[in-house]
């Protein structure tokens, strides 16, 4: 077994997680479930685990949520070796708890780690430790429909050293944040600004992994779009500025004629788990689903000749986000009269039902705790 792949410890040792519980006094009051917003509250406990070249992953611990101490020379602060994931725990009607394809998130994190020369995580052990953390903090999983407990696994380089290279020490942690329903008053189609001024990712770059720098680099385009009255940015490819890549931090789908079209995983697009779920469901439903390059000109031509029926984004936070209009080169294009399309609604309902354990997916996507 290679040291670099981070699996020096046996399963038994990893699973032997120390648990330090909060004292009654340290336990935080739970926020009002009806005004959670996104990412504003954090649960009582967190999972932490350290990596060194000598020991591999070690010191797996569930401990009270608290500050870290980091050396000012910690390499993440200078050279940006930081990766993360986003997933959710769902409270079923009967009180049970579900996760949606959790191993896929940890496997994707390993792809991110590989690209940035960070150590591999032991997938099964991390999922088991995450379940342990969720059992301890289960009272933080909201029961209001649509509200969830957002899960944020993160890995950063902690070695104190200057000089650009791969670090020798890392910290992995998982924090939990109760979040409100994305659509408290039902589906709300968004207004999208198509930018040809900024790009998100380049071929050969890091657009296909969840690394912190990608999001830092996207903020300016988002700010300019918001100042102009739009909700999100639609990104075009970096080379020709013609082909569609993603919308905000979501993958994107088009219903044109009888086809469901989404850009292929070309290397500069994030391989979304919701994207993959939509593709698989579409195939099960007998829809014609195509992964191919699609240009903004083709989309707008289809809008003008009436063939474009729906556009929607996909991601863990919103599940499905219908697009109501596109703004490109000073012109506005209304999509499906600014209304939520039937297919967008159908995917939303189906995936939500699976995530909340109301319906069983054919590929056992939802895992009951
Ligand atoms: C996380 C993310 C997505 C969506 O991925 P899911 O696994 O569906 O949540 C899409 N695009 C970007 C840029 C992302 O960061």
Let me know whether 347 and 198 are in one domain. yes
What CATH number should be reported for the domain holding residue 254? 3.20.10.10
- Tokens at 368, concatenated: 């009951």
Residue 184 within a domain: no
Position 262 in a domain: yes
Indicate which atom in ligand 1 lies nearest the CA of residue 250. 10
Residue closest via CA to ligand 1's atom 15 equals 249
User: How many angstroms separate the first and last alpha carbons of the chain?
Assistant: 31
CA distances from 200 to 2, 194, 203, 239, 311 (A): 34, 12, 11, 11, 20
Residues 227 and 159 in one domain: no
Domain termination residue (choose one: 124, 153, 179): 179
Residue 250 Cβ contacting ligand 1 at under 6 Å: yes
Are 103 and 30 in the same domain? yes
**Ligand 1 centre and the CA of 247: distance in Å?**
10
For 158, list phi and psi in degrees, rounded to 5: -110, -10
The verdict on the CB of residue 156 being under 6 Å from ligand 1 is no
Name the least confident of 7-11, 98-102, 241-245, 284-288: 7-11
Q: Which of 129, 158, 179 is the last residue of a domain?
A: 179
One domain, residues 233 and 308: yes
**Residue 131 covered by a domain:** yes
Per the domain annotation, does 363 fall within a domain? no
Which of 79, 80, 270 lies closest to 163, judged by CA?
79
Pair (166, 270) in one structural domain: no
Answer whether residue 240 shows pLDDT above 80: yes
In a domain, 303, yes or no: yes
Question: Between the CA atoms of 175, 110, 103 and 251, what dihedral angle is there, to the nearest 10 degrees?
Answer: 90
Q: What percent of the chain has pLDDT over 90?
A: 91
Quote the CA–CA distance of 219 and 233 in Å, as a whole number: 10
Q: Are residues 125 and 198 in the same domain?
A: no
DSSP 24: T
- Provide the pLDDT confidence category of residue 145 given band limits of 50, 70 and 90: confident
Do residues 158 and 280 share a domain? Answer: no
> Mutation test of ligand 1: which of 233, 263, 316 has the most ligand atoms closer than 8 Å to its C-beta?
316
How high is the pLDDT of residue 13? 46
pLDDT beyond 90 at 1: no
Alpha carbon of 123 to ligand 1 centroid (Å): 19
pLDDT (average), residues 12-30: 84
**Ligand 1, residues 108, 251, 266: which to mutate, most atoms within 8 A of Cβ?**
251
Tell me, in angstroms, the distance from the centre of ligand 1 to residue 270's CA.
Answer: 6
Ligand 1 centroid–CA 288 distance in Å is 23
Q: Are residues 263 and 343 in the same domain?
A: yes
* 245 lies in the same domain as 129: no
Mean pLDDT of 325-333: 97
Domain boundary among 117, 149, 179: 179
Domain ranges, residue 345: 190-355
Co-location of 231 and 349 in the same domain: yes
The verdict on the CB of residue 315 being under 6 Å from ligand 1 is: yes
In a domain, residue 197? The reply is yes
- CATH number where 135 lies: 3.30.470.10
Q: Each residue of 168-220: pLDDT tens digit?
A: 999 999 999 999 988 776 788 999 999 999 999 999 999 999 999 999 999 99
Q: What is the dihedral of CA 356, 357, 361, 365, to 10 degrees?
A: 70
Instruction: Please report whether residue 360 resides in a domain.
Output: no
Among 217, 270, 281, the mutation site with the greatest number of ligand 1 atoms within 8 A of its Cβ is 270
Which residues on adjacent β-strands are paired with residue 99?
89, 367
Distance 102 CA to ligand 1 centre (A): 14
The pLDDT tens digits for 85-125 are: 999 999 999 999 999 999 999 999 999 999 999 999 999 99
How many domains, the chain?
2
**Assigned domain for 27 exists:** yes
3-state secondary structure 242-288: CEEEEECCEEEEEEECCEEEECCCCCCCCCCHHHHHHHHHHHHCCCE
109 with 149, same domain? yes
Tell me the pTM. 0.94
Whether residue 213 has its Cβ less than 6 Å from ligand 1? no
From 154, 277, 315, 347, mutation site for ligand 1 pocket: most ligand atoms within 8 A of C-beta: 315
Render pLDDT for 250-261 as a digit per residue (tens, 0 to 9): 999 999 999 999
Q: What is the DSSP letter of 330?
A: T
**What pLDDT is recorded for position 228?**
95
For ligand 1, whether the C-beta of 275 sits within 6 Å is yes
Clarify whether residues 47 and 167 are in a common domain.
yes
Pair of tokens at residue 3 = 């040291």
Q: Which residues contact 140 (CB under 8 A, 6 or more apart)?
A: 30, 43, 44, 149, 176, 178
Ligand 1 near 273 CB (within 6 A): yes
């Amino acid at each position: 077994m290679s040291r670099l792949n981070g699996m020096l410890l046996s399963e038994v040792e990893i699973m032997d997680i120390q648990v330090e519980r909060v004292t009654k006094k340290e336990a935080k009051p739970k926020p009002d479930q009806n005004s959670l917003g996104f990412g504003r509250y954090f649960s009582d406990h967190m999972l932490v685990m350290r990596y060194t070249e000598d020991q591999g992953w070690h010191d797996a611990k569930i401990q009270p949520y608290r500050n870290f101490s980091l050396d000012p020379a910690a390499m993440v602060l200078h050279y940006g070796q930081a990766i993360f994931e986003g997933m959710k725990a769902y409270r079923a009607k009967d009180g049970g708890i579900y996760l949606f394809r959790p191993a896929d998130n940890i496997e994707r994190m390993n792809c991110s780690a590989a690209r940035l020369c960070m150590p591999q995580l032991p997938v099964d052990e991390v999922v088991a430790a995450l379940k342990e953390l969720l059992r301890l903090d289960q009272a933080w999983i909201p029961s209001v429909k649509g509200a969830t407990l957002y899960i944020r696994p993160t890995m950063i380089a902690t070695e104190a050293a200057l000089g650009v290279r791969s670090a020798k020490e890392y910290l992995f942690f998982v924090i939990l944040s109760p979040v409100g329903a994305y659509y408290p008053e039902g589906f709300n189609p968004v207004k999208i600004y198509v930018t040809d001024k900024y790009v998100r990712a380049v071929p050969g770059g890091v657009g296909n992994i969840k690394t912190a720098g990608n999001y830092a680099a996207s903020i300016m385009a988002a700010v300019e779009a918001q100042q102009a009255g739009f909700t999100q940015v639609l990104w075009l490819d970096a080379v020709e500025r013609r082909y569609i890549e993603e919308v905000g931090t979501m993958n994107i789908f088009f219903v044109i004629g009888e086809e469901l079209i989404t850009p292929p995983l070309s290397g500069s697009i994030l391989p979304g788990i919701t994207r993959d779920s939509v593709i698989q469901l579409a195939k099960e439903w007998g829809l014609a689903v195509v992964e191919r390059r699609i240009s903004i000109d083709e989309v707008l031509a289809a809008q003008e000749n009436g063939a474009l029926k729906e556009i929607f984004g996909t991601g863990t936070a919103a599940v499905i986000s219908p697009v109501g209009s596109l703004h490109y080169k000073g012109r506005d294009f209304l999509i499906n009269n600014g209304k939520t399309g039937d297919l967008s609604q159908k995917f939303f309902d189906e995936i939500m039902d699976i995530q909340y354990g109301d319906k069983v997916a054919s590929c056992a996507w939802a895992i009951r705790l």
